[in-house]
Chain A
């Protein structure tokens, strides 16, 4: 078992109180698995991604454990985490531009980065990796501003996986890219897993269709909790949680026409997490909800590998 997260709780400190962005999330990611993490804005998917590598100043580890390859990650301890970052857990951020130093050529920046971590640059390995994502070695002599968005994203992917980390977190890495670039980047990412450069991956995106293409397993979150986790195919073909079903129904496919089938959105909005209501958090927007939903639904395994948190399944 590569990654095991147990009852993870992370909250944000605000002036008005504690916002419980992650409220008891448990899941596992196996070796060689790509876990797609999907959900609406504010569901806690980015918080979860950050929790696995670096809690920012406002975030507090309120409980639960994260175990990677049998060792517990000290996620609440910023310094102790340094030993794991880049070597064991690595990140590809949403805006690759902000991950690259604009005043350095790419090659020099990578060399400096590795030196600061006490590693030496294996230039041949770096060039091979660049080749695998379809970049010429010349990019090492360029400045970040000379590269397109998709190229920068791929450079960052190569750099963050250079030490062959066990877990890679990719947070919305394709949302600023065009469809054709998006496809290239997503495929390169899956290729890294296939080549064994990273053992497992958490792929965070709001785009369910994209997740379905590259992830092995999809986990849908709602208001800081797990709603449903299932193999990718099951998730898009036979979702069980009412929220996932509505989410899948809200997606237009290429070629779908308004005149043919009118898609429906989900009325209402997720509850505020400052003082979340007890029970099922989707209750207010759920067409199936009744009094029984006032109690928090447990996560149950309805089929092998298919977990749902709903009283109505």
Chain B
């Protein structure tokens, strides 16, 4: 591939200590490896507790890695001003990201104070307006307003505009559209699609398969902290090989087609044991962790 890896996870494991005195260990993320290239959206799909948000948090340096390595543009994650200049996250609930007492555009002011103290005021104001226009908002409509006067979609896009004021290379988008209405959700998704054509790498974390497929070049499916299937989106969803991926797909409600029954899978290791076997390359770039891949392919047409 011509474009270099912007984000690379190599055998990343995260273990949480739980219980009294941290006597028990829970493995939230188990030897996960994948990469995101510049100008590419990779969606990380999994159900609650699959470890998808933990991965996002580790990439953002909000929680340390237990073992393995995460590199961004070749350098390890090092939380700090320099790191956050190029790596930013946007999260599920836009309302909780704003202080309701202050106007919403205060988030831009804070960026200027932290990262661009030397920029003259009028030039900064112009940059803010440009960033707001970049996220398809009308500066006159959204600047100078309080958070409660703006919709969830507008607030979410302002947070992306905030990230654009930095020298952004990688965006971690963790369930950013799950609180938005169908009518505004698409605007945020289309915005991400436009940003990737400008070379931004996006790690799109979601439980919504339809939204994940809409945007992403490649998809990583997580189950209980491990990658069960990853590869080009068309292949992962067009020809899902792992029984878990098939179950997930079958359960998605579709507008125009009745619910498929989850395909019956005989003696699949993912039913009774924790492990799934290592990732094996089924077709070029399409990896599946299924110990009985050949049997399964025979089982389900």
Binding site for B on A (CB under 8 A): 40-41, 149, 178-183, 186-187, 206-210, 212-213, 236-237, 246-248, 250-258, 262-266, 269
Question: Are A269's CB and B151's CB within 8 A?
Answer: yes
Question: Are B189's CB and A257's CB within 8 A?
Answer: no
* Residues of A contacting B262 in the complex (Cβ-Cβ under 8 angstroms): 180
Q: Does B185 contact A (CB under 8 A)?
A: yes
Question: Are A180's CB and B251's CB within 8 A?
Answer: yes
Question: Are A209's CB and B254's CB within 8 A?
Answer: yes
Q: Does B211 contact A (CB under 8 A)?
A: yes
Do A265 and B237 form a contact, CB below 8 Å, given A183-B253, A252-B214? no
Tell me the complex Cα distance, A253–B256, Å.
9
Closest to A183 in B: B251
Q: Which of B207, B213, B249 contacts A252 (CB 8 A)?
A: B213
Interface centre among A41, A187, A247, A265 (most CB of B within 10 A): A265
Q: Which of A251, A254, A255, A258 contacts B182 (CB 8 A)?
A: A251
Question: Are A40's CB and B186's CB within 8 A?
Answer: no
Q: Which of B186, B238, B248, B253 contacts A263 (CB 8 A)?
A: B186
Tell me the complex Cα distance, A250–B185, Å.
8
Question: Are A263's CB and B213's CB within 8 A?
Answer: no
Question: Are B213's CB and A265's CB within 8 A?
Answer: no
Tell me the complex Cα distance, A41–B184, Å.
11
Q: Which of B181, B193, B247, B254 contacts A254 (CB 8 A)?
A: B254
Q: Does B16 contact A (CB under 8 A)?
A: no
* Residues of B contacting A186 in the complex (Cβ-Cβ under 8 angstroms): 253
* Residues of B contacting A149 in the complex (Cβ-Cβ under 8 angstroms): 48
* Residues of B contacting A180 in the complex (Cβ-Cβ under 8 angstroms): 47, 247-248, 251, 262
Q: Does B258 contact A (CB under 8 A)?
A: yes
Q: Which of B48, B152, B182, B251 contacts A208 (CB 8 A)?
A: B182
Main secondary structure of the interface of B (DSSP, over half): helix
Interface centre among A187, A209, A236, A246 (most CB of B within 10 A): A209
Binding site for A on B (CB under 8 A): 47-48, 151-153, 181-187, 189-190, 193, 207-211, 213-215, 233-234, 237-238, 247-249, 251-256, 258-259, 262
Tell me the complex Cα distance, A262–B197, Å.
15
Tell me the complex Cα distance, A106–B233, Å.
43
Tell me the complex Cα distance, A258–B60, Å.
26
A-B contact pairs, 25 of them (CB 8 A): A179-B209, A179-B248, A180-B47, A180-B247, A180-B248, A180-B251, A180-B262, A183-B259, A206-B181, A206-B182, A212-B253, A213-B254, A246-B183, A247-B183, A251-B255, A252-B211, A252-B213, A252-B214, A254-B213, A258-B193, A258-B214, A262-B190, A262-B193, A265-B187, A266-B184
Closest to B41 in A: A258
* Residues of A contacting B256 in the complex (Cβ-Cβ under 8 angstroms): 212, 236-237, 253
Closest to B248 in A: A179
* Residues of B contacting A264 in the complex (Cβ-Cβ under 8 angstroms): 186, 190
Question: Are B47's CB and A179's CB within 8 A?
Answer: yes
Question: Are A256's CB and B183's CB within 8 A?
Answer: no
Tell me the complex Cα distance, A75–B208, Å.
37
Question: Are A41's CB and B181's CB within 8 A?
Answer: yes
* Residues of A contacting B214 in the complex (Cβ-Cβ under 8 angstroms): 252, 256-258, 263
CB distance from B214 to the nearest CB of A (A): 4
Question: Are B252's CB and A179's CB within 8 A?
Answer: yes
Tell me the complex Cα distance, A178–B244, Å.
13
CB distance from B245 to the nearest CB of A (A): 11
The 3 closest A-B pairs by CB, nearest first: A266-B183, A178-B47, A265-B187
Question: Are B252's CB and A254's CB within 8 A?
Answer: yes
Question: Are B151's CB and A257's CB within 8 A?
Answer: no
* Residues of B contacting A253 in the complex (Cβ-Cβ under 8 angstroms): 210, 254-256
Closest to A214 in B: B253
* Residues of A contacting B255 in the complex (Cβ-Cβ under 8 angstroms): 208-209, 212, 236, 248, 251, 253
* Residues of B contacting A247 in the complex (Cβ-Cβ under 8 angstroms): 182-183
Tell me the complex Cα distance, A41–B185, Å.
12
Tell me the complex Cα distance, A255–B237, Å.
7
* Residues of B contacting A254 in the complex (Cβ-Cβ under 8 angstroms): 209-210, 213, 237, 249, 252, 254
Tell me the complex Cα distance, A100–B249, Å.
31
Q: Which of B186, B187, B234, B251 contacts A179 (CB 8 A)?
A: B251
* Residues of B contacting A269 in the complex (Cβ-Cβ under 8 angstroms): 151, 184
Question: Are A265's CB and B254's CB within 8 A?
Answer: no
Question: Are B213's CB and A256's CB within 8 A?
Answer: yes
Closest to A233 in B: B256
Question: Are A258's CB and B189's CB within 8 A?
Answer: yes
CB distance from B155 to the nearest CB of A (A): 12
Interface centre among A179, A248, A266 (most CB of B within 10 A): A179
Question: Are B207's CB and A250's CB within 8 A?
Answer: no
CB distance from A111 to the nearest CB of B (A): 31
CB distance from A98 to the nearest CB of B (A): 18
Tell me the complex Cα distance, A258–B215, Å.
6
Q: Which of A178, A252, A255, A257 contacts B48 (CB 8 A)?
A: A178
CB distance from B197 to the nearest CB of A (A): 11
Closest to B186 in A: A265
Closest to A285 in B: B183
Closest to A235 in B: B255
Supplied contacts A41-B152, A254-B237, A263-B189, 18 more A-B pairs, CB within 8 Å: A178-B48, A179-B252, A180-B251, A182-B251, A206-B181, A236-B255, A247-B182, A248-B255, A250-B182, A250-B185, A251-B210, A254-B209, A256-B214, A257-B233, A258-B190, A258-B193, A265-B186, A265-B187
